Structure 1
């Protein structure tokens, strides 16, 4: 009885020790599992430590990798139109021309209209100024008087410039090849054909170069159209017509001008009047002749 109880107690003790050992083994292996997984995720294999955080994940760029295309330069044509009411359009036009020349530009055209009894005097200028100084010239034009209208436009011609450059390069290559063919040609007929083709290609190349030069000039120099208008109908009065006596003199001059114009008109109509009198005299004579024959 006592021996059986001792055996059962020993068996129970063995079972308890086995359970405790099993729990201890499983608890010691569980915390190590994430570390092992981390090593395999970061190191890529057994025995490799975790990768330092400052190490870049991307590898070196291969030397034959395609490079990004260079940025295309943007080319624009700037134009402006300004209408200004000025007390003295002539003086304002001279100042506008000085603004253009001082900025390194020029005056392409100047048109003057003296006004009339129904319209105001005006002067129209076409200025060409460097594109980078356009804003400064516009500011100077605003000081010439009262700005009635201002219009500024920008046109992007980058695609046109790129197309012209590409066509010029292609034609230049073709011309160079034709010149090489002509140097090495042994057959007279082939030489003649090459010369004919070269003439046509050279003409096309010169035309494209002229277009490219004109486009470059429009890009570099902006066009400004300036219209300067007098504030009153008839334009500003000359200095000698100021005051009451000046206006009296102006009226007398207008009367003399009208008389001179009438004299000129009479001289213009005098030959026609002579021809009309002669024609009437012939008709009257013919009428009397016919009437006399009827009576007879």
Structure 2
């Protein structure tokens, strides 16, 4: 009765031992296979490196040109990846473009325009555009475009609105912070790209490489200049607000004509008399040359007639 339990225990122990040995053998086989694959891949990598080194030693110029081309291609891919993956850093400053339009009725458009110029200049701004015209021969109107600093925008707007009777007012505020940050990031990337192309040009020996790099440099410099122009425009519009001011005078109705009286008739007759004398004087002046010529001809004719009459009286009578 005691031998049976002992036999079962030995069997269980033997099974566990065989299972452990099998697991150990499987682990050893897998480890050896992994080492062999690693050795094969390492050997192939070493062979590729040796072949590349041999090519560069065999033809140094070709190896250098290939290296430059690889570096330029890698630089292009890196710039594109950095431009696509770069996120704008969080900034505290907010960039806003502010504009406003005012229509104000004033007693004198010219005086109000002069006051508006003074207000803008005192605030550190300027007058970008100005024009004044007479509308329908009844009143004057002035149009001004003022540029003022953002800090003085609200105070200048209030002062201009109180210059007279405010007829209309509109204002807009456009947040361009994201656009400003994006342009600044692209400028930094483009400047680094231009610097890398210049370094490649310094190391280039072949004419073909120099021409290719010059074309690439011109293209990148043009892109950089375009970005700088965008940055300058954004800086100008975010630091200086624009206020369009229209000043108009109240329309005056034309005075109605009154019935003419004695004085009006006397004045009209006097003007007609003076006008007639003026025209007569002009007529005499125009006929004066002709009258002088006619007078000379008349004098000559009379002198000739007298001579003929004397000669006819001195002739002897005819014999009978």
* Distance change (3 Å), C-alpha of 1:186 and 1:80: same
Secondary structure of 2:148's partner?
A: strand
Please tell me whether residue 129 in structure 1 is matched to residue 144 in structure 2. Answer: no
> Within 2, Cα distance between the matches of 1:174 and 1:135?
42
Q: Per-residue deviation at 1:95?
A: 0.4
> Within 1, Cα distance between the matches of 2:250 and 2:242?
26
> Within 2, Cα distance between the matches of 1:89 and 1:96?
10
Q: 1:263 corresponds to which residue? A: none
Q: 2:96 corresponds to which residue? A: 76
Please tell me whether residue 193 in structure 1 is matched to residue 201 in structure 2. Answer: no
2:108 to 88, 93, 98: 88
TM-score normalized with structure 1 length: 0.54
* Distance change (3 Å), C-alpha of 1:223 and 1:234: farther
Secondary structure of 2:189's partner?
A: helix
> Within 2, Cα distance between the matches of 1:144 and 1:168?
44
Q: Per-residue deviation at 1:79?
A: 0.7
Q: Per-residue deviation at 1:152?
A: 1.5
2:232 to 209, 213, 217: 213
Work out whether residues 116 and 233 of structure 1, in 8 Å CA contact, stay in contact via their aligned partners in 2: no
Per-residue CA shift, 1:9-53, capped at 9, x if unaligned? xxxxxxxxxxxxxxxxxxxxxxxxxxxxxxxxxxxxxxxxxxxxx
Please tell me whether residue 229 in structure 1 is matched to residue 248 in structure 2. Answer: yes
Secondary structure of 2:166's partner?
A: strand
Q: Per-residue deviation at 1:234?
A: 7.6
* Distance change (3 Å), C-alpha of 1:104 and 1:187: same
Equivalent pairs counted in the alignment come to 169
2:186 to 167, 172, 176: 167
Which portions of structure 1, spanning 4 or more consecutive aligned residues, are displaced by more than 2 angstroms?
69-73
Per-residue CA shift, 1:234-253, capped at 9, x if unaligned? 89xxxxxxxxxxxx9xxx9x
> Within 2, Cα distance between the matches of 1:169 and 1:223?
29
Q: Per-residue deviation at 1:115?
A: 1.4
Please tell me whether residue 116 in structure 1 is matched to residue 136 in structure 2. Answer: yes
- Structure (1 or 2) with the greater helix fraction: 2
Q: 1:138 corresponds to which residue? A: 157
Secondary structure of 2:249's partner?
A: strand
Q: 2:169 corresponds to which residue? A: 150
Q: Per-residue deviation at 1:71?
A: 3.8
* Distance change (3 Å), C-alpha of 1:197 and 1:87: same
Q: Per-residue deviation at 1:121?
A: 2.4
* Higher Rg of the two aligned structures: 2
